[in-house]
Amino acid sequence: MAARSIGSLTVSFGLVAIPVKLFTATQSGNAISFNLLHKTCGSRLKQQYLCQKEGVVVERDEMVKGYEFAKDQYVRFTPEEIKALEEVGTHSVEISEFVPIESVDPVYYDKTYYLAPDKGAAKPYALLTEALKQTGRCGVGHWAARGKGYLVILRPIGDVLAMQQLHYASDVRRASEVEVPKPEVKPAELKLAQQLIDQQTAEKFDADSYKDEVRARIEAQIEKKVEGKEISVTEAAPAGEGKVIDLMEALRASLERSGKARTPASGLGPRKEPKRVEAPAKAARKATRR
């Protein structure tokens, strides 16, 4: 089924304006969700808000919004005041600069939209898309919708122009905040690790080759329930402690197993979980406890 446009925009760079149609790139409606029901009669439950001080149910017409500026201290805002603070929606994205696409770390990526040329815009749309592909750059701009302002980049995906919402820098935690020890990496270990990576490397990422097995399992069980069938519930096996082995031995064994798993026809065999390798310090603690 053809995608349905959810809106229209004008993309501009320099004096060139490109009217485009906006499409969602992902399908959040496919998510499986469960509702809360009354155990005795099976009716669906509705959410209620309780006053923490008086312990009574508060109806929506008795609610106001407030901001907690100190512990249990709030300043109130009327709907009109909040509306005045919101960003005015725009129907345009003006590209302010172009940057190398690899300079935008994927950690900043948020929601993605597809853009398609509107009537009479096929030529400038194709021109911008091809220019971005040839130069390896993306356009950085600003877009406002639903009362919020978004930082976006425009990047080509094949012949389609995608608008990628980005997190602002203040919303992204720096990787340097995560403490990571720096043990010595021996050349022999590094060589084996690189060989293992080379052996398990595909030409490109193929999203279609990965299936949501959990979703399929849930859907199958839901279908059984709808048909009135009982489903069996088995307890999950406890996670094993894992065999403590030498890192070099684990790399060599992984290389051997990966080589056997590959098939001449496809070059890649079924993926298998690697053996668990525990750090020497953790192994020592277990030995002490034993």
Banded pLDDT at 287 (limits 50, 70, 90): very low
For the segment 269-285, the average pLDDT, to the nearest whole number, is 45
Distance separating alpha carbons of residues 259 and 199, to the nearest angstrom: 7
The pLDDT of residue 231: 76
**pLDDT value at 282 more than 90:** no
Averaged pLDDT, 112-126: 95
pLDDT in tens, 19-46: 999 999 987 766 788 999 999 999 999 9
For the chain, the average pLDDT equals: 84
| Mean pLDDT value of segment 230-247 | 65
Is pLDDT at 277 greater than 50 in this prediction? no
What are the residue ranges spanned by the domains of the chain?
7-27+86-169, 185-197+243-290
Categorize the per-residue pLDDT at 2 as very low, low, confident or very high, splitting at 50, 70 and 90.
confident
For range 162-166, the mean pLDDT: 96
Over residues 135-160, the pLDDT tens digits come to 999 999 999 887 788 999 999 999 99
CATH of 7-27+86-169, one of 1.20.272.10, 3.30.750.24, 1.10.1240.10, 2.40.290.10: 2.40.290.10
Higher pLDDT, 270 or 90: 90
Confidence label for 174 from pLDDT (cuts 50, 70 and 90):
very high
How close are the terminal C-alpha atoms of the chain, in Å? 61
Percentage of the chain beyond pLDDT 90 is: 47
- Whether residue 172 has pLDDT greater than 70: yes
At 38-84, the pLDDT tens digits run 999 999 999 889 998 899 999 989 999 999 999 989 999 998 888 88
The pTM of the full predicted model, rounded to 2 decimals, is: 0.70
Which pLDDT tens digit goes with each residue over 251-273? 888 888 877 766 444 444 444 44
b (16+ CB within 10 A) / e for 98-136: beeeeebeeebeeebbbbebbeebeebbeebbeebeeee
